[in-house]
Structure 1
């Protein structure tokens, strides 16, 4: 198995061994009891021996569990002391005691969010911390952060997974929009039914637009599997599009596009920043996540 997972599980077990309670240990660690129990179970499987004796009223250490607890005491003390030292350096304006952050951060994010926000954050972060290598996986695939070696993920969802720590960054809706020139030539639709009289370009693979009043199936436009090209269709006065608001917020603010049918936009979605429930977090990861949060607009559509 991956060594970092083994170390992480040993650290989690050490907290359980100290508390002799999964509930108390989970509270101290800031993770769910179910996740903690599963990680200890996997550790026992990897070691090939039970570490805990579980009853309905108590948790006791086996002989092997006590042996590992004793060996982990010194390891935990050293790691926690190192974490405190790094936090002290951060509080006093030094990212690292000697030479700054270094190493690799592995990031996965959906294409639109990466294009609109994340690329700028990555460039600014790397300019400040040139020794950090940022590896950015951009796709619409949802990776399993408990099994794949990503440090942080960004995901569009209303229900973030409960086995990861989730920070809500951005709320958004999908909005219909078109250029003023197109609307001047073709008229402005004020109802969902009026979309039938317009060229409406949609995301390929999407049969219709799920509006607040129900799904409509606009025709007469292109089906495109690239949101940037969809936006360009609207900017080229070629019709109406429906995309995530944050993809076109600058064009709307500049007046290059006009927002349509706001009453049909429905419930908002959210972008979450997700990361595994690990101890301890690296200083560079904490700094990167803080940089992302600082770059986000107020949470509104």
Structure 2
């Protein structure tokens, strides 16, 4: 009797893939590194820590920017409770080391970003950027493992997690020497936008996965736009700043990722597992 894995019909690691296509993610990553190296250092804007939010609540300054981080913790808790019990399932095993790092980084982002926004400045910014870098690293490893269920990604999660730490450390060190450089940190933020759809296309990820991550990426880009337009949005609407909206939209992006992962265990996903057993 022919068996059906959870990947059949939606994701196709067993289907023939042109050899050169498999190397596309490596080529893209190498190209991005070369481009950033040739471009030269990318400094943080001089007014980066000047946010438009002037709200006060219970004596807490920048209250909207501070409290709007709570959603990250809620999404992380939801993801942990929904996914950790299924970490050894066929649907999640290969990607879990990365998704675990993603959820931990997301949870820490809620506190690191809130701490930073209480009194914005480079001295506190490290605690905002570090968990974000860890979450980006975890997402990369998680999706790579999720699109190729046979992979062992524990070492990758550790390695990319260390790179995430190093990327923030590089910014801190260069900033203290008066020539701050964000290139490694920015690389971690850009690569998911390119590699995730590429991996999903190459290995024919399930439609729910593609939809969830496409939604997350659109929301993330929208969040970055509102971040850039922080003061303009505050001046137009008055009751909300662009950076506060960034937090809320970015929370929705992470929720889309978790939603997509939980969809693997829907009734359809269970039927595929039953067929395989």
Q: Which interval holds the TM-score relative to the shorter structure?
A: under 0.3
Q: Which has the larger share of strand?
A: 1
* TM-score (norm. length: structure 1): 0.22
Greater relative CO (CA pairs within 8 A, separation 6+): 2
Q: Which has the larger share of helix?
A: 2
Q: Of the two, which has the highest radius of gyration? A: 1
